[in-house]
């Protein structure tokens, strides 16, 4: 049991290396600097390891594109403004069907914002921040252990479906330390065969990786192909955690750090008032979004309390999932504010009792 106390960012870095990531291209931006720093040291110890601090986040994502098309498992990371600079590159990765892992340690925005933890890039991540119809696979860890596990898993998802995958943490998750067991590759696990990578046309026809498709019918078909791919991902890769749902008659929906605070609030409320029955659904993949889990809960539960460290973005996905089958109470704290469990608990309790009164009328 090699459990270690690690920073969230370091856990991501080590898990990536254990997953076979040999190429990392980064750029300094708080609150994720510890990741490029970590990789600059660790990749020097990895055979074939490549670390470049690029001249910009934009150059970095394009280096990822190059390393990926050359067959390596490649990663880049940044924080909110830097992720904005990577959007064109991410759109090209999606269009060219190239695997890559992109880490966003979110901070307060918009604009220069601040360096406090926030969840304000949800739309950018899940609605495709770049141009064109494409969907990004987005994991939302809520602990240092999950940052390691989901990063490790992200490389397999990226390779299996030939798609960019995002790990969406925030400044708190990135910079806090928790005990973590870094996943190790199974014995004899081989890297997936890649018949599309560029190695030089020796003994085979030349290969071409591109996203320019001038014929509109071909481009349309390519779009539907990407949609079908995301449907497969939706069916197989959607992940969420349920917490105290069995007897709940109100469900909190929150991810990442917000979900940790919500869990604390729920525990506190249930201790104080046994018949205040609140549970939680925590999306672990926010794209694909756990629509089924929410619809199932809506069979019996009518009140949903959505909490985000933003002005409300995931709440739209909840609204889409429910399609009017439940009442949504939204509570948001943008700008890098991290409310306490007690503060959140008060708001949940108030909405809970209002809902009961209304149901009794």
Partner 1 sequence: MKKVYQRPRSLRDVPMHYCPGCGHSIIHRLIAELLDEMGLRESAICVPPAGCAVLAYYYLDIDMVEAPHGRATAVATGIKRVRPDNLVFSYQGDGDLAAIGTAEALHAANRGENITVIFVNNAVYGMTGGQMAPTTLSGMKTTTTPAGRNPRSEGPPIRVCELLQGLANTVYLERTAVNSPANVMKTKKAIKKAFGVQQKKAGFSLVEILSPCPTNWRMDAVASCTWIDEVMAREFPLGVIKEVPC
Q: Which stretch binds partner 1 (CB under 8 A): 56-64, 105-113, 238-246, 278-286?
A: 56-64
Q: What is the phi/psi pair of residue 18, to 5°?
A: -65, -30
> Residue from 33, 78, 96, 104 that binds partner 1 (CB under 8 A)?
96
Query: What DSSP element (H or E) covers 252?
Result: strand 250-253
**Please, which residue, 5 or 198, has the CB nearer to partner 1?**
198
For the segment 99-138, give every residue that binds partner 1 (CB under 8 A).
Answer: none
Check binding of 72 to partner 1 (CB under 8 A). Answer: yes
Check binding of 66 to partner 1 (CB under 8 A). Answer: yes
| Contacts with 305 (C-beta within 8 Å, 6 or more apart), sequence order | 250, 251, 252, 253, 278, 329, 330, 331, 348, 351, 352
Number of residues that bind partner 1 (CB under 8 A): 41
Check binding of 242 to partner 1 (CB under 8 A). Answer: no
Check binding of 198 to partner 1 (CB under 8 A). Answer: yes
Print the binding letters for residues 73-92 with partner 1: x by CB under 8 A, - otherwise: -x-------------xx--x
Check binding of 42 to partner 1 (CB under 8 A). Answer: no
For the segment 201-220, give every residue that binds partner 1 (CB under 8 A).
Answer: 201-203, 206-212
Check binding of 274 to partner 1 (CB under 8 A). Answer: no
Q: Kindly write down the DSSP assignment for every residue of 144-168, as one continuous string.
A: HHHHHHHHHHHHHHHHHHT-EEEEE
Q: Residue 359 burial by CB count (10 A; 0-12/13-18/19+): exposed, middle or buried?
A: exposed
**Please, which residue, 25 or 305, has the CB nearer to partner 1?**
25
**Please, which residue, 24 or 230, has the CB nearer to partner 1?**
24
**Please, which residue, 181 or 213, has the CB nearer to partner 1?**
213
To the nearest whole angstrom, how small is the minimum distance from the Cβ of residue 282 to partner 1? 35
Q: Kindly write down the DSSP assignment for every residue of 322-339, as one continuous string.
A: HTTSSEEEEEE--TT---
- Angle subtended at Cα 128 by Cα 336 and Cα 18, rounded to the nearest 5 degrees: 75
Give the C-alpha separation, 29 to 77, whole Å: 9
Tell me: cis bond preceding 31? Omega within 30 of 0 counts: yes
List residues near partner 1 by CB under 8 A. 22-23, 25, 48, 50, 52, 54-56, 58-60, 62-72, 74, 88-89, 92, 96, 198-203, 206-212
């Amino acid at each position: 049991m090699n459990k270690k106390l690690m920073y969230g960012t370091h856990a991501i870095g080590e898990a990536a290396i254990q997953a076979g990531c040999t190429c990392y291209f980064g750029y300094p931006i708080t609150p994720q600097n510890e990741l490029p720093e970590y990789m600059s040291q660790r990749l020097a110890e990895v055979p074939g390891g490549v670390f470049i601090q690029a001249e910009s986040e934009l150059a970095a994502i394009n280096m990822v594109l190059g390393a990926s098309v050359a067959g390596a498992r490649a990663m880049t990371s940044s924080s909110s403004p830097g992720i904005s600079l990577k959007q064109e590159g991410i759109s090209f990765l999606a269009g060219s069907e190239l695997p890559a892992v992109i880490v966003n340690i979110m901070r307060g925005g918009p604009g220069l914002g601040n360096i406090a933890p926030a969840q304000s890039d949800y739309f950018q991540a899940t609605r495709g921040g770049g141009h064109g119809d494409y969907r990004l696979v987005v994991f939302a860890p809520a602990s240092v252990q999950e940052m390691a596990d989901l990063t490790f898993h992200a490389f397999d998802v990226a390779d299996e479906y030939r798609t960019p995958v995002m790990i969406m943490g925030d400044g708190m998750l990135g910079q806090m330390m928790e005990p973590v067991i870094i996943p190790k590759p199974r014995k004899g696990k081989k890297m997936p065969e890649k018949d599309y990578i560029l190695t030089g046309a020796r003994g085979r026809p030349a290969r071409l990786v591109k996203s320019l498709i001038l014929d509109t019918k071909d481009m349309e078909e390519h779009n539907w192909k990407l949609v079908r791919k995301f449907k497969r991902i939706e069916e197989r890769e959607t992940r969420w955690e349920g917490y105290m749902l069995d007897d709940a008659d109100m469900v909190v929906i929150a991810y990442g750090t917000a979900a940790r605070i919500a869990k604390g609030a729920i525990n506190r409320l249930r201790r104080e008032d046994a018949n205040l029955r609140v549970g939680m659904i925590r999306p672990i993949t926010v794209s694909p979004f756990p629509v089924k889990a929410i619809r199932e809960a809506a069979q019996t539960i009518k009140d949903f309390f959505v909490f985000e460290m933003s002005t409300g973005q995931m709440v739209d996905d909840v609204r889409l999932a429910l399609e009017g089958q439940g009442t949504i109470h939204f509570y948001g704290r943008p700008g890098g504010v991290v409310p306490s469990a007690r503060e959140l608990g008060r708001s949940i309790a108030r909405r809970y009792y209002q809902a009961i009164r209304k149901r009794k009328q």
